[in-house]
Every structure is written in structure tokens, then in C-alpha cells.
Structure 1
Amino acid sequence: MTTALLTHPDCLNHVTPPGHPERVDRLMAIYSALDAMDHTGLQRVEAPMGTDADILRVHPQAHIDAIKAAAPNSGSIALDADTHMSEGSLNAAYRGVGAMTTAVDMVLNGDVQNAFAAMRPPGHHAEKQTPMGFCLFGNVAIAAKHALDVHGLERVAIVDFDVHHGNGTQDLLWDEGRALFISSHQMPLYPGSGAADETGTSGNILNIPLPPNSGGAELRKVYERIVLPALNDFKPQLVLISAGFDAHRNDPLANLNWDEADFVWATEQLCDVADTHCEGRVVSTLEGGYDLDALAASTRAHLEVLIERGTHG
């Protein structure tokens, strides 16, 4: 078996204003790191365009219409203080949706063991009718609903280790009892949500706030005490990962002290859960990470675990 790497040049055409942390250079740094890797066991896939039908599984038509209407023909516009669109952003966002639905198809059809989507803009802050936090569409939530509704799965788990709470994924899956959403994140920090008492309509949301300046030791404790038992109780048929690397100690937007070894450990633990319950089926997607060197090294480390698991099981 192999690991699929899904990406597309359209993601380089999502241009944010000068000085914006979610910038084209993020993906260029990742590409450079991945080009230096041994590609044995890695299948590169050009992400297709997603469809409105994909997006409608979690967002209403009004949200799609608003995003399309906002897309500029030239230059860039601000949807809020953080979230921008340029003339290439709409295609990039649709490629992000297509990357995740295709990754789910490939993994569940047995074409590959696991997959990573190196796409931008990210998605985990996009709420039902609110683009925010650099995000336009809720890519990982769309992937979960695709697995449930198209492939007929009964249990899909989403684990988000981005330093910021995945408020969008939580909002989009709040009423979806077939999906377990687990988010570890720094608190206090943007977007201000993610308290432990936010649990969804059927207890399907598990938030784990982490104090500023905590590091890998705290990560391991909460995974071993909370995250991994919850996943094993749930017995997912597919594991999705919102892989934000902004919990890294060098990231400029937050104050957790993780390093590449911590991301490796977390990825290994999630792959172990997948090995136990769903034949190793994992789909991961890029979320945050804004120090270019830390982002590149952490993404490479994360992908190397997926490749090792895909190649050797």
C-alpha cells in the first residue's frame, strides 16, 4: 500500500495581503521539504475541484452563494480582519474540498493506505455561514460527511491538533452523532471557543484546552488520559486529522511548546488507533502553521509517519 499526497498549483493562487501569516510561502516551504524526501511509497495526486454537492453536506446554499459573490475578479478583498480572497481563492478553496473527498475515496476504496492533503486555504474555522480564521469551507467536516453519507460509514473520528480550536468543524458537526470531533488547543487563544463543556448534541464533541507554554509532556498526558481512550471507545471506521502545526514552539501566533517529535508521536498514536479499529485508514489535511521552517519540518515528519505506516502497516 502507499500514501497519497494531494495538492494542486491553484493553491498558490490564493494570495493574501503582504504580511499575512497564511501566505503562499507556507505551501512553497512544504513543497521544498517534501521534494527532499524519499518518495518511495508516496503517490502524488492532483486534487480535483470539489462540488457544491460536497459542500452542501455541511454548509447551506446561502454560504456557497456568499463566497462566490465575494470572490474578486482582480486584487483581493477582506471578508473579515483575518480572512481574505483574491481572484484565485475560489478555485483553491474548491480544490481543498476536492482533495479531501478524493482522499477519502482513495483510502476507503483501498487504493492507498492513508493520505495527506497539502492544501490552502485551511478549513477548520469556517462555520456554517461564516468564513473566518483564514478559512472558507470546512474541508475536514465535508470529508467526514462524505465518508458517512457516500460510503455509508457509521463512525468517523476527527482529531484536530492545531493550536487554535476548530470552531468551524465543531459548528458543522455539532448535531452529527456519527462523527466524533476531538480538538486539543491552547486556551485562551483565538477564536475563544473550545471549552470542555462544549460537547455537541450527543456528546460527540470533545474539547481539551491546554494552558499557554505547555509542551510535549502535557500533550502526551492528555492523549493518553483522554484522547486515545475516547477514540478506542468510539471505534472509528476512519480517522481524519486536522493537522495544524502552529503548536510548534517557534510559531508566531501562539504559545505552545511542541516540536517535530511531538507531532510524530501524536501521528503515531492516531495511526495506532486506526490500525486497531479501521485497517489503518487515515486522511490528514493541512490546517495552520506559520513559522515556515517549523511548518516544513513538522509537515515532513507527519507525512513520514504516514508513509511508514502505509508502506509497512
Structure 2
Amino acid sequence: MKPTLLLTDPLFLQHDPGESHPESPARLQRILGVLARAPVRGTVMAPPRSATDAELAAVHTPQLLARLKELSGRRASIDPDTHVSADSVDAARLAAGASVQAVEMVMAGKARNAFALVRPPGHHAEPDRAMGFCLLNNAAIAAEAGRRLGAERVLVLDWDVHHGNGTQAAFWGRRDVMYQSVHQFPYYPGTGATPEVGTGAGEGYTVNVGLPGGNSDADYGMLFEELLLPVAESFRPQLVLVSAGFDPHYHDPIGGMDVTERGFAAMCTAMRSLAERVCDGKLVLLLEGGYSLEGLSQSVHACVEVLAGRTDSFPPGDTHTDAKEALVASRAALKPYWSALS
């Protein structure tokens, strides 16, 4: 059995948005500490490479890349939430490269699957704008790498508590990359409403499920089984990417959801099973948010166990009325495009 590849580097700990900022180096330190104390059999940890100029330019504008280059080696604020220290731009470039390298290894059959344990996160970074703790959009850069390596269709599933506006924007008018997101709504950044399904050639290839908060493992299980997975299966991706944010955890100080470690393991199991059915298991997870150190680290560990072969299921429980209503609304918005929802 090929190994599960874990990509990380000490440089990611050098990105320091400032004292008391929730996206702190302690997030990755805690994850690595848990993995060191309880190593997962069948995993291999390796250092990544930095992204090339061409890999970044496949997603981001020359103006944004020039602005980030200007900020390299400096401490500065991009917006009230997004700050850089001397090593932040280098760390962001390495995070993007780790995401590409994970795709390269999985597409080449050298890894069973992969998890890029990186920071800063990426899914809020738009093609022309850094925002929301994010400098470069790791998921979009990885998706473009998958396309270059021969994946005609790439799925990006985003379970972060915040909508990935940047990833959606990158592929809004395209049908070769499907973006699916289940998130809290209305909430930062304000995008991800149910009617947002794409435009032009990409109409129907953006899938948004907005939940009001307080939603459980059972709610997520219902949404996966009755909407996200049927559409994904119909799309038949040749590479599956997950923007794996762990801020829906019930202990998270920023999110407002009620997801447990088992819920994340079940979501990861669902995506691994999908990838095994449709694309020979080609699955890559990319670390996004998650600000409870305990909830984040334990949930990441649970997902690494799943990538290495463990299987978990959504725990039984009652689903909330608001989650059922969100499911009905999203199915109605997507039904004209996907017969699996009829």
C-alpha cells in the first residue's frame, strides 16, 4: 500500500500575524505535537517545495503577486484581519508549493493520498486580493496543478465554517473545476448564498449550502449524502481536493457549529470513498481554518487516520429543521443542472 503523504515545514511556524491573532503558529505546533505523540501508521512526513511563479500566476493577478513581493521581509497589515511578518510571504509561497506537490505525488501514484499541513490558509484569497488571514489560494493553485497534470475535472470540497470566496471566484465561470462549500451563513465573508451556482459555462458547477450555526454531525451527514456526494459523483472528478477547515468544531472560538472529531472523520471518509470510486483514490486535503487548539489537532489526527485507512461514519442523531431547509433550497437551486437531484 502506498503511504499517505503529510507535507509540512518549520517555515510555516514563522508566519506570525501578531499577538492574540487566532491564526497563530500554535495551531500547527499543536497538530504536529499530536501526530508526534500518536503517529499514524502508513503515513510519511516530508518537506515541501515552494510554488513557482507560473504556478502562482495560474490563479493570481500580477498586481497581487507584485504587492506580496513588496511585503516580503516586512511586518504589515493588509486588512484588519490579515497581517504579515517578515517570513509570511515566503511561508505562503511554500504553502502553495506544498499544495501543488501533494497533487503531483498523488497524480503520479507515488502517494495513496496526501494532507498539506500548511499555514497561512488560502481559501479566502481571491485572484486579485489577499484577505481573511489568507495570502495565496492554496486550493485554487492546487486545482490548476491538477488540471495541468491531466485531470480533466477537479472537485474542491470546502468544509471550513467560512465560505471560500476566493476559490469560488477563481472558478466561477468554469466547469472543469467544481467548487462545493458547506458553511455558516450569513457569516464572514458574506458570500456563499444558495443561489450562487456559477455563471456562463460554469453555471451549476458551484454548490453552496449555507447553515445558520449550531449544526451537528448528523446535519452534515445529511447534506453530504443527499446533495454534495450525488452531485460530486455525477461530476466524476479525476482529482478530489478538500479545503479542510476545522472551525466547525464545537469548541471553536470563532465558528458557531457543533461538529465533533468523529464528524470530521466521517466527512473525510466520505471524500476518500468518493475518490476511490471515481478517480483511483486521488485525494488531497489542504489545511484551512480551525482555532480551538484541541479541537483542531484532534480532528486533523482523526482525518489523517482516515487517509491512512481507518473508516468512520456519521454518528446517529436528529437533524435540525434549518439544515433540512438549507438542503431543500440548495437541491432546488442545483436540480436544473444535475439529474441526480431529481
TM-score when normalising by structure 2: 0.88
Distance 1:78 1:62 in 2: 17
Matched residue, 1:190: 188
Superposed CA offset, 1:96-153 (max 9, x none): 11101111110010001100000000000001111001000111111001111x2121
Aligned to 1:230: 231
- 2:146 aligns with 147
Separation of aligned partners in 2, 1:39 and 1:271: 17
Corresponding position of 2:283: 282
In 2, are the aligned partners of 1:123 and 1:139 still within 8 Å (CA)?
Answer: yes
CA contact (8 A) 2:153 2:176 kept: yes
Contact 1:71 1:90 (C-alpha < 8 Å) held by counterparts: yes
Task: Give the match for residue 304 of structure 2.
Answer: 303
Is residue 125 of structure 1 aligned with residue 121 of structure 2? no
2:210 equivalent to 1:209:
yes
Give SS of 2:307's match. Answer: helix
Q: Kindly state the Cα deviation for residue 43 of structure 1 after the two structures are TM-superposed.
A: 1.2
> Within 5 Å, which residues of 2 pair with 1:264-275?
264-275=265-276
Offset from partner CA, 1:48-102 (integer Å, 9 cap, x none)? 11111101111111110011112344xx211000001100101100111110111
Identity of aligned residues (%): 41
- TM-superposed CA distance for 1:309, in Å, is 6.3
2:159 maps to 1:161:
yes
How far apart, CA to CA, are the structure 2 residues paired with 1:152 and 1:42?
A: 26
Match of 2:110 in 1: 111
Q: Tell me the distance in 2 between the aligned counterparts of 1:35 and 1:264.
A: 19
Structure 2: distance between partners of 1:33 and 1:268: 20
> Once the 2 structures are TM-superposed, how far is the Cα of residue 18 of structure 1 from its aligned partner?
0.8
Q: Which amino acid aligns with 2:159?
A: F
Secondary structure, in 3 states, of the residue corresponding to 1:308? coil
**Cα separation, 2, equivalents of 1:138 and 1:24:** 19
**Conserved 8 A contact 1:82-1:134:** yes
The AA in structure 1 aligned to 2:265 is V
Structure 2: runs of 5 or more not aligned: 312-342
Deviation at 1:39, TM superposition (A): 4.0
Give the whole-Å Cα distance in 2 for the aligned partners of 1:210 and 1:268: 22
2:308 is paired with a residue whose SS is: helix
Partner amino acid for 1:132? Answer: M
Tell me what 1:43 maps to. 44
CA RMSD of aligned residues (A): 1.2
Unaligned stretches of 5+ in structure 1?
none
Q: Are 2:77 and 2:84, in contact at CA under 8 Å, matched by a contact in 1?
A: yes
Total equivalences in the alignment: 307
Higher mean C-alpha displacement, 212-221 vs 37-46: 37-46
Alpha-carbon distance in 2 for matches of 1:11, 1:25: 11
